[in-house]
């Protein structure tokens, strides 16, 4: 990226003043090295976001920002309905409410070793993953409606989990305002056999070891200690979310001129929040969020069952569950005024700081856990919301380091078997139905998240707490 176009606000914050049709500045977080390495497309895309109606304050990118479609991945923007603000299907993306749930096990790495192979085998059989996989739960129309309204709460009512899990899930597992009737027949059909499935690509269920603690106080509140074993689940709303995104993206792009919206990039397809299509999309997207929360809840249940066979004393409590592809109505302070805004986070994680009223009591003194996904051979991180409020970038942080090589390039560099064998040599067991998928997801195809974690920490977006290394990875 050409740094000469940006003003350096601090070592970790860069700003592009409004130019052309931009209504607000673009603010980019990251050190000089990270910003310089970003694709020029990131600046082009976030500048386009800054042109959308009703945008407030600034359009932000996280330190891991990379070329997306419409929004950059790692992009954050908020819109005010009172100013003609929009909701963008492109700004949320296809994988509605894709996110990460982390489970504590109470086990140490040495507890795991004697049965690591068997546990990996059992998890790979129990967790439906990969192209063409189906879950054991098939929903009829009325049950689908209840799931779309109830989210993780619905799943727990069906026996997939415990009531206390809800205390540790964003929105207590069920976002209000879902409109099942706004979800098409095709979206429902696509989801019918996909409840409790992981998906493919970069989605995973990973057993991890906590290898470093950076903040002892916060780690103690989170229940993390060095050597602990945790489980991380990364997936979203599956076919239902994909189909909602597909349908509304098209409808919003075609309807934009009628709403007087000139799209700088078609993929930024959006509609006024206070319009028929905007309202229908919000209702359908929220149903998609509930679907994702129900899905991660079912996967939690499946993982617990397998762990219980090997470790009957474990209960795998939820540390937290938070999404990183989402639009949510939140209250934020802008120039000293509290305003209700529709915050889009595309590949960005909500990061509420300490004492935020929306957080569970357990995190009142620390702030919210923020999960940073690694690849199957590189570390993940657990961070926490900033110590001071108001938080930056509408209380957002990043979600992962992003790819270094495209899937196509990765296939030229690695073979799936080679990747699996190399990781096994490092003590990491990979279970994937697709060797080609293993090659495309090779750790070398991803950037190292260490520099991005450091940048987010120093920029005040979120604070470092713990580093986790993969032990078993179930991939789609």
Q: Which active-site residues does the annotation give?
A: 399
Nearer to other proteins, 239 or 367 (CB): 239
Q: From the centroid of its chain, how far is CA 260? A: 32
| Residue 390 near residue 367 (C-beta atoms within 8 A) | no
Q: From the centroid of its chain, how far is CA 308? A: 27
CA-based radius of gyration for the chain: 21
Residue 266 is a binding residue for other proteins (CB under 8 A) = yes
CA atoms of 364 and 305, how far apart (whole Å): 31
Nearest approach, Cβ of residue 257 and other proteins (Å): 12
Nearer to other proteins, 202 or 295 (CB): 202
For 344, residues 6+ apart whose C-beta sits below 8 A from its C-beta are 71, 75, 76, 77, 78, 79, 87, 88, 91, 92, 326, 327
Residue from 23, 67, 211, 315 that binds other proteins (CB under 8 A)?
A: 67
Residue 448 is a binding residue for other proteins (CB under 8 A) = no
β partners of residue 318? 103
In this structure, the strands spanning 463-475 and 429-431 are parallel
Residue from 7, 8, 136, 189 that binds other proteins (CB under 8 A)?
A: 189
In this structure, the strands spanning 59-69 and 26-29 are parallel
Interactions with other proteins, residue window 205-264 (CB under 8 A): 239, 242-243, 245-246, 249-250, 253-254
Interactions with other proteins, residue window 82-111 (CB under 8 A): 90, 93-95
Interactions with other proteins, residue window 11-50 (CB under 8 A): 39
Binding segment toward other proteins, per CB under 8 A, in 5-13, 197-205, 305-313, 337-345 = 197-205
Residue 437 is a binding residue for other proteins (CB under 8 A) = yes
Residue 328 is a binding residue for other proteins (CB under 8 A) = no
Interactions with other proteins, residue window 337-396 (CB under 8 A): none
CA atoms of 165 and 369, how far apart (whole Å): 15
Helix, strand or coil, per DSSP, at residue 19: coil
Residue 440 is a binding residue for other proteins (CB under 8 A) = yes
Residue from 4, 33, 132, 425 that binds other proteins (CB under 8 A)?
A: 132
Continuous H helices in 256-316: 276-310
Nearest approach, Cβ of residue 431 and other proteins (Å): 13
Nearer to other proteins, 68 or 196 (CB): 68
Interactions with other proteins, residue window 388-417 (CB under 8 A): 402-403, 406-409, 416
Q: Name the residue among 99, 83, 318, 304 with its Cα closest to residue 223.
A: 318
For 51, residues 6+ apart whose C-beta sits below 8 A from its C-beta are 20, 21, 22, 23, 264
Total residues at the site for other proteins (CB under 8 A)?
51
CA atoms of 2 and 230, how far apart (whole Å): 41
Nearer to other proteins, 150 or 199 (CB): 199
Nearest approach, Cβ of residue 246 and other proteins (Å): 4
- DSSP-derived secondary structure letter, 267: G
CA atoms of 209 and 226, how far apart (whole Å): 8
Interactions with other proteins, residue window 142-161 (CB under 8 A): none
Residue from 186, 226, 280, 305 that binds other proteins (CB under 8 A)?
A: 186
CA atoms of 367 and 360, how far apart (whole Å): 9
Nearest approach, Cβ of residue 349 and other proteins (Å): 17
Nearer to other proteins, 200 or 323 (CB): 200
Residues that bind other proteins (CB under 8 A): 39, 66-70, 73, 90, 93-95, 130-132, 134, 186, 189-190, 192, 199-202, 239, 242-243, 245-246, 249-250, 253-254, 265-267, 269, 402-403, 406-409, 416, 433-437, 439-440, 476
């Amino acid at each position: 990226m050409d740094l000469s176009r940006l003003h350096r606000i601090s070592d970790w914050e860069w700003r592009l003043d409004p130019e052309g049709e931009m209504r607000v500045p673009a603010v980019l977080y990251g050190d000089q090295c990270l910003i310089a390495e970003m694709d020029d497309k990131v600046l082009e895309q976030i500048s386009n976001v800054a042109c959308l109606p009703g945008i407030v304050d600034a359009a932000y990118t996280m330190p891991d920002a990379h070329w997306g479609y419409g929004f950059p991945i790692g992009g954050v923007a908020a819109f005010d309905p009172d100013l003609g603000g929009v909701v963008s299907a492109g700004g949320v993306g296809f994988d509605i409410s894709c996110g990460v749930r982390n489970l504590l096990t109470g086990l140490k790495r040495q507890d795991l070793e004697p049965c690591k192979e068997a546990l990996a085998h059992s998890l790979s059989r129990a967790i439906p993953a990969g192209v063409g996989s189906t879950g054991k739960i098939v929903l009829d129309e009325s049950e689908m409606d209840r799931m779309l309204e109830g989210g993780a709460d619905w799943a727990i009512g069906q026996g997939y989990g415990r009531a206390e899990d809800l205390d540790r899930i964003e929105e207590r597992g069920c976002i209000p305002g879902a409109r099942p009737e706004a979800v098409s027949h095709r979206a429902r059909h696509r989801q019918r056999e996909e409840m409790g499935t992981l998906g493919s690509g970069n989605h995973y269920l990973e057993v991890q070891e906590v290898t470093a603690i950076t903040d002892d106080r916060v780690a103690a509140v989170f229940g993390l200690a060095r050597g602990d074993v945790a489980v991380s689940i990364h997936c979203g709303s599956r076919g239902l979310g994909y189909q909602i995104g597909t349908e509304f993206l098209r409808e919003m792009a075609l309807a934009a001129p009628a709403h007087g919206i000139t799209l700088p990039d078609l993929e930024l397809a959006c509609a006024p929040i206070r319009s028929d299509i905007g309202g229908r999309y919000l209702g359908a997207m929220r149903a998609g969020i509930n679907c994702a929360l129900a899905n991660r809840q079912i996967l939690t249940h499946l993982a617990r069952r397998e762990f219980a066979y090997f470790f009957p004393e474990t209960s795998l409590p939820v540390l937290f569950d938070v999404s990183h592809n989402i639009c949510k109505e939140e209250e934020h302070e802008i120039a000293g005024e509290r305003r209700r805004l529709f915050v889009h986070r595309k590949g960005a994680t909500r990061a509420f700081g300490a004492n935020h009223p929306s957080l569970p009591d357990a995190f009142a003194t620390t702030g919210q856990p923020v999960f940073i996904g690694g690849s199957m051979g590189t570390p993940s991180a657990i961070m926490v919301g900033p110590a001071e409020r108001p938080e930056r970038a509408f209380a957002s942080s990043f979600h992962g380091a992003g790819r270094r090589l495209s899937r196509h390039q990765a296939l030229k560099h690695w073979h799936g078997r080679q990747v699996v064998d190399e990781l096994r040599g490092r003590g990491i067991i990979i279970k994937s139905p697709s060797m080609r998928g293993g090659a495309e997801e090779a750790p070398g195809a991803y950037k190292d998240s260490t520099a991005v974690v450091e940048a987010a920490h120093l920029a005040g977006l979120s604070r470092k707490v713990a580093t986790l290394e993969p032990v078993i990875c179930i991939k789609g």
